[in-house]
Amino acid sequence: MKVGFISLGCNKNLVDTEKTIALFKENNYEIVNKPEEADMIVVNTCGFIESAKEEAINTLLEMVEYKKQKCKYLVAMGCLVKRYENELKKALPEVDLYIPYGTYDTLWEQIEKLVKPNIIQKQIAKKETKNEGSRNKVEYKEIQSTEFEQNIDRVITTGQNYAYLKIADGCSNCCTYCAIPKIRGVLKSRPMENILEEAKDLVKKGYKEIIVTAQDTTKYGEDLYGKPMLAELLRKLCDIKELKWIRFLYSYPETITDELIQVAKNNEKICAYFDIPIQHISDGVLKRMNRKSNGEAIRSLIKKLRKEIPNVILRTTVMVGFPGETKEEFEELYQFLKEAKFDKLGAFSYSKEEGTPAYYMKDQVHPSTKKSRYKKIMELQQEISKENLKSKVGKTFDVIIEGMTKNKKFYVGRTYMDVPEIDGIVYIENKNELLEVGSFVKCKITDVKEYDLIAKLI
């Protein structure tokens, strides 16, 4: 049977999809990239905010159309299913199987029951029976949740240069706007030895860059070891010889310690790149959000990072239109961003999510106000980004080669300043040099193009 996969939402979701693909491959299913070729389509959904939910619903509706052709089975899994399983079953009966996040321990059992309901014979991993010689027997492993997270192989879908390394799941921060704790539960860190084992395996397979990810990477280890252990984990990752670049994303400002800053500063393998989702700068808004930091601490952290690591790239995300956000509070955010000049910035409008404390707050901001504030922030950041990029002209950077443009006029790569699929890229003039994907080359920046850089080989 041929199976196609669609992964929506965050890179944590993508890791779950990659593990699911591996399960299918281990059980002799053929993986295809085109939905029109698939006998089964599996959609891993996101249910974080309204736009993500809309994308997931639209994707499922689109996939329903393929059931009128070759596709026999449509499976929906993930966060949206966790939040709205009953509603989805009523609205989309064409979906044959719903697998909520948190029930992946039963994933394979449910797939086998769907496809082969009359011959399914459960067999727990590592238990052998006398009748095992029968080739007609359908066998599968009963995957426990922890095993799915820690021990299931993955089929990496991000190319041959980089792979995500998920070090924890869930979140215990309980921001008032966020549904993640309700969907994915409290913080659950993976044992460090398990993470390092996976990292070494990825490097053996040829991956040059590992991107450490979790809902909040800086809280890693608090539940297992009684204190944050990200700095220690990064130190041990740096000991993996063939690994070239290490990144860590989603670092909450209140847990970026001096130790973590020094580890990032003193290890060349760690990209000088801090992704710090501050969400706002106004103390009033931060308090209503139940964020653990404040405006003064955020300002102080940014100054410290730029002082300690002069070439550091700072990325953040901010939210506009949170309930009760006044004109003055928004203006404080706007002026702060104007002064801070973040290298990278993502903004989004507050999304009213059922079951979160902010859903019930008074003074919900009008949609048109949220839209205008979002637009104003993005226009400001566009100018800041242009200014920041122009400052790179004439400078030299190491660039990892990722491919070539269709017209073959340019090679395409990234510097330490750019997270794949999120930030910009570098276009390198092709002067008929043979550059291999995955190789590192030195380049001089010659020009800028919107959010990207143009360079030549040195």
Domain stops at, among 373, 391, 409: 391
Co-location of 259 and 298 in the same domain: no
Beta strands 2-7 and 30-32, pairing class: parallel
End-to-end Cα spacing for the chain: 50
For residue 138, the domain's CATH number is: 3.40.50.12160
Helix and strand numbers, DSSP H then E, in the chain: 14, 18
Instruction: Give residue 69's pLDDT.
Output: 87
Instruction: State residue 279's pLDDT score.
Output: 98
Structural domain harbouring 46: 2-147
Residues 257 and 301 in one domain: no
Structural domain count, the chain: 4
Q: What is the DSSP string of 321-386?
A: --TT--HHHHHHHHHHHHHH--SEEEEEE----TTSGGGG-SSPPPHHHHHHHHHHHHHHHHHHHH
Q: How far apart are CA 289 and CA 173, in angstroms?
A: 10
CATH number for position 337? 3.30.750.200
Task: State the pLDDT at residue 368.
Answer: 97
Angle 230-238/192-204 helices, nearest 10 degrees? 30
Q: Are 171 and 184 in contact (CB under 8 A)?
A: yes
Compute mean pLDDT per 10 residues along the chain, 458 residues long, and list them: 95 94 94 95 94 94 93 96 94 95 90 73 42 36 52 86 96 94 93 96 96 97 96 98 96 96 97 98 98 97 98 98 98 98 96 94 96 98 94 97 94 96 94 90 94 94
Instruction: Tell me what pLDDT residue 358 has.
Output: 96
Residue 121 domain-assigned (yes or no): yes
pTM: 0.88
**Running DSSP on this structure, what letter comes out for residue 97?**
E
Domain identity same for 121 and 255: no
Q: Are residues 7 and 123 in the same domain?
A: yes
Scanning the structure block, which residue is given the tokens 């859903």?
359
* Alpha-carbon gap, residue 200 to 437, rounded angstroms: 21
What number of other Cβ atoms are within 10 A of residue 212's Cβ? Answer: 24
Q: Classify residue 153: in a domain, yes or no.
A: no
Residues 69/36, Cβ–Cβ less than 8 Å: yes
CA–CA dist 63, 75 (Å, integer): 10
Contact 32, 2 (CB under 8 A): yes
Check whether residue 183 and residue 206 sit in a common domain: yes
